[in-house]
Structure 1
Amino acid sequence: MRTRGAILLANIITGLVLGFTVANIGYGDYAELNRMFTFQSMRMFYSFAGAVVIIVCAFAVLRVPRTPGRIHAGVVPGAVLFGTGWAISGGCPAIPITQVAGGYLPALVTIAGITVGIRLCRWTNARYFHLDRGSCGL
């Protein structure tokens, strides 16, 4: 049986490898993200498509059960907010950490925005929508 410490260590190592890879292939660069969102470069889109193909194959090989059903009520508005924030800030929740680690300090504003957004989502959800806790991310 796995211990919490072993799982935590595996997560830390995996995160460091992912962060190193993302930083070194240029995906933490705002200009690269801008080229993707303005369709000047398809490089990141192809990378995302490749990642989807890999995970679909891995799920098929591992026989991960699929739970069919309705789309969660927060998926569409959440996706719109996520995409808008990503386009404006140049980073999804992981990229600003990579940017700060690379010395790009303005990414701290993005991290603050992510933190405020998650807290605002949780407050709004608790007050008005009462969806499950996982609907607000982190």
Structure 2
Amino acid sequence: MTNDTSMPDKNLSRSMSLSKFASVLLIGAYLGILFTKSEVACWERIHDMFLFKEAYMYLIISLAIVVAMVSMFLIKKLGITTVDGKPIVYEPKPYHTGVIIGGMLFGAGWAITGACPGPIYAQIGGGAWMALFTLAGALSGMFCYAALKPRLPH
């Protein structure tokens, strides 16, 4: 889901109230605790998933898909807006070669580091300081993508 803006609001911090910042912070803290307690941010769980040793992570991912489907339905049905009051609009991404290449790179990084983007912060918050290298890799990958985007298959 994306919101309906073409450029980010440079004055976002000034336009959001303290209560909105606090609510976002609380949701982030809740997700960090949830990721840690459910062991979604646990390297061993991710490793076992990719080796097909246990179904735990597949069940978690399936549940996340169901929650996302219900959430998207409710957002559309109830006309829920962003914290800035803008409508939330779902725009399907077109399928192309870059999706396959990006998916393989994402999966390889996930298998090696034991974290997709969300759990990186939960790992760091839980004291897994090696996750700082994962964060550095994710950020450098993001910047490389931004620099190479005009030359990539889209």
Range class of TM-score, shorter chain: 0.7 to 0.9
> Which structure carries more helix by proportion?
1
Question: Which segments of 5 or more consecutive residues in structure 2 lack a partner in the other structure?
Answer: 1-14, 78-88
Over 3 Å counting, the alpha-carbon distance change for 1:58 and 1:97 in structure 2 is closer
Residue 32 of structure 2 corresponds to residue 19 of structure 1: yes
The TM-score with structure 2 as length reference comes to: 0.71
Aligned mates of 2:94, 2:153 — CA distance in 1: 17
Match of 2:148 in 1: 124
Deviations 1:54-95 (A, max 9, x none): 221232233366546733664332222111110111111122
Q: In structure 1, the residue corresponding to 2:117 is in which secondary structure?
A: coil
Unaligned stretches of 5+ in structure 1?
Answer: 132-138
Aligned with 1:4 (options 11, 16, 30):
16
- Structure with larger RCO (C-alpha < 8 A, sep 6+): 2
Corresponding position of 1:29: 42
Please give the alpha-carbon distance, in whole angstroms, between the structure 2 residues aligned to 1:105 and 1:115: 16
| Structure 2 CA distance for partners of 1:35 and 1:9, relative to 1, 3 Å | same
Give the direction of change, closer, same or farther, for the CA distance of 1:69–1:82 in structure 2 (3 Å limit).
Answer: closer
TM-score, scaled relative to structure 1: 0.79
The alignment covers a number of residue pairs equal to 128
5 Å matches for 1:1-138? 4-5=16-17, 6-63=19-76, 67=91, 70-71=94-95, 74-126=98-150, 128-129=151-152
- How far 1:46 moved relative to its partner? 0.7
